Amino acid sequence: MSGHSTYKPGSGIGKWMDDRLPLARLMHDSFVSYPVPRNLNSFYTFGGILMVMLISQIITGIVIAMHYTPDAALAFNSVQDLRRDVAYGNTLQTWHAVGASMFFVAVYIHIFRGLYYGSYKAPREVLWILGVVIYLLMMATAFMGYVLPWGQMSYWGAQVITSFFSAIPVVGETVREFLLGGYAVGNATLTRFFSLHYLLPFMILGVVILHVWTLHVTGQTNPTGVEVKSRQDVIPFTPYATIKDAVALVVFFAVMCYFVFFLPNYLGHADNYIPADPLVTPAHIVPEWYFLPFYAVLRAVDFNIGIPFTEIVLIDSKLGGVLAMFGAIAILFFVPWLDTSDVRSTNYRPLYKIFFWLFVANAVFLGYLGSRPAEGIWIPLTKASTLWYFAHFLIVMPALGLFEKPLPRPASIMDSVLEKAQGAGTSTMAAAPAEPNTKG
């Protein structure tokens, strides 16, 4: 899509600058004249929303860091002081904490949208992979931010998550000691997490720039999955996409404000209002909601994996759980190659559509299971749900592309728009092949 520039500098200063640093031209080409498919629906507004959320988190974060003391003895009270004594401190702190949750709401919708419309398929593999990298960085940032208020959940969350690294054979304990800066979670851990929590958002910003760059090289997907073929198929980013994104953002912020002002603690845990105590683990510890599905995967492996009929253990339950959990995220990197169908949009894949929604339901269910105690019926359900999660990527995705018969797709984006406008009957659909469409 990086076609030739339509930017025309107005004033003399504009021309002078354009010959030296064409920043205005870059902005114009990227966010004004940039052509987007004319049939984008509301699910395509979440990229813009995420960009705004990142900036919002950085701004509120910088402000509340001015009132925060990264010291195990003082951190808890400094956050409470911020909430009680600083002008608007309560709102700013809540905006930042709720903002983290809303950031994940938006990113999950964005990821599922990408999965539904096949946004990871050629030529957008790098775009997708950069997105997964951003998602990983977001998780690391959110985790370390959650430790900073130094409440019970902060402390024990840090204890559990850093213990993942002690599962590494041989060097695990040493790696963990280097992460913690001690033999247990303590002051050294808090200060380094504060440092990294401040750094990572800027790294996210860097990867976001690459993410947008690749997007602007390959162009956006759209609900039909048919590539842009002519000028008829596109409209300029400004005003069309800009206004649409703005409307979506207002709705999104309205929901967020409801939480910030009326349910500020709904997404948190009461236990985090108890100062960190290294001697007592809260009776029921759960991570933040956005980590729950992966927490369930971690707990699903409570058995050793060994050579059958012998006592030899190859992977003990601890390492197995950690591998499964990281695998559940890492598998996203391979999605562009696991999906063998070359039909992008799930709208034209009747069988895959069923499996897609099953996958969504299962992912939500995994999250629910992650919030349940590890006992009784929840244990076998967690195992079944985890198995389905991996089967979707490793079995359903590769297999369906080989024998599924896709529905006929429109010849172009414009065709699909016109057809919708005129209603059914005047279809100008291209004859679709009746056999499975498989990549090369």
Partner 1 sequence: MSSTDTEVTRRDFLYLATGAASVVAVGGVAWPLIAQMAPNAREVAAGAPVEIDVSAIEPGMMVTVVWRGKPYFIRHLTEAEVAAATDAEQGLFRDYQSADVRLAAAGEGTTKNWAVMGANCTHLGCVPSRVEADGENALDGWICPCHGSKFDVTGRVTKGPAAENLPLPPFNFASAEALVIGEA
178 touches partner 1 by CB under 8 A: yes
Please give the residues from 107 up to 146 whose contact with partner 1 meets the rule CB under 8 A.
Answer: none
Query: Residues 285, 286, 289, CA angle at the centre, nearest 5°?
Result: 160
203 touches partner 1 by CB under 8 A: no
Work out how close the CB of 362 gets to partner 1 at its nearest, in angstroms, rounded to a whole number.
21
Name the segment binding partner 1 (CB under 8 A); options: 10-18, 107-115, 369-377, 404-412: 369-377
Label residue 170 exposed, middle or buried (CB < 10 Å: 0-12, 13-18, 19+).
exposed
Work out the number of other CB atoms within 10 angstroms of the CB of residue 74: 14
User: Based on CB atoms, which residue is closest to partner 1, 208 or 315?
Assistant: 315
71 touches partner 1 by CB under 8 A: no
227 touches partner 1 by CB under 8 A: no
Binding partner 1 (rule: CB under 8 A), the pick from 109, 184, 203, 391 is 184
Name the segment binding partner 1 (CB under 8 A); options: 130-138, 143-151, 299-307, 419-427: 299-307
Which x/- pattern over 255-294 shows residues binding partner 1 (rule: CB under 8 A)?
Answer: -----------------------xxxxxxxx---------
Work out the number of other CB atoms within 10 angstroms of the CB of residue 406: 24
Contact in structure between 287 and 295 (CB atoms under 8 Å):
yes
Work out how close the CB of 383 gets to partner 1 at its nearest, in angstroms, rounded to a whole number.
12
Rounded to 10°, the helix 378-391/292-300 angle is: 100
DSSP letter for 178, please: H
Contact in structure between 195 and 379 (CB atoms under 8 Å):
no
Name the segment binding partner 1 (CB under 8 A); options: 12-20, 96-104, 254-262, 310-318: 310-318
353 touches partner 1 by CB under 8 A: no
Residues that contact partner 1, how many (by CB under 8 A): 41
Work out how close the CB of 159 gets to partner 1 at its nearest, in angstroms, rounded to a whole number.
5
- Whole-angstrom Cα distance, residue 171 to residue 139? 24
- Whole-angstrom Cα distance, residue 433 to residue 8? 45
- Whole-angstrom Cα distance, residue 278 to residue 184? 9
User: Based on CB atoms, which residue is closest to partner 1, 326 or 334?
Assistant: 326
102 touches partner 1 by CB under 8 A: no
Binding partner 1 (rule: CB under 8 A), the pick from 81, 125, 316, 419 is 316
Please, which residues have CB within 8 angstroms of residue 72's CB and are 6 or more apart in sequence?
Answer: 150, 186, 187, 190, 276
Work out the number of other CB atoms within 10 angstroms of the CB of residue 36: 21
User: Based on CB atoms, which residue is closest to partner 1, 16 or 303?
Assistant: 303
- Whole-angstrom Cα distance, residue 262 to residue 299? 34
159 touches partner 1 by CB under 8 A: yes
Q: Write out the residues near partner 1 by the rule CB under 8 A.
A: 156, 159-160, 162-164, 166, 177-184, 186, 188, 192, 278-285, 298-299, 301-304, 313, 316-318, 321, 373-375, 379
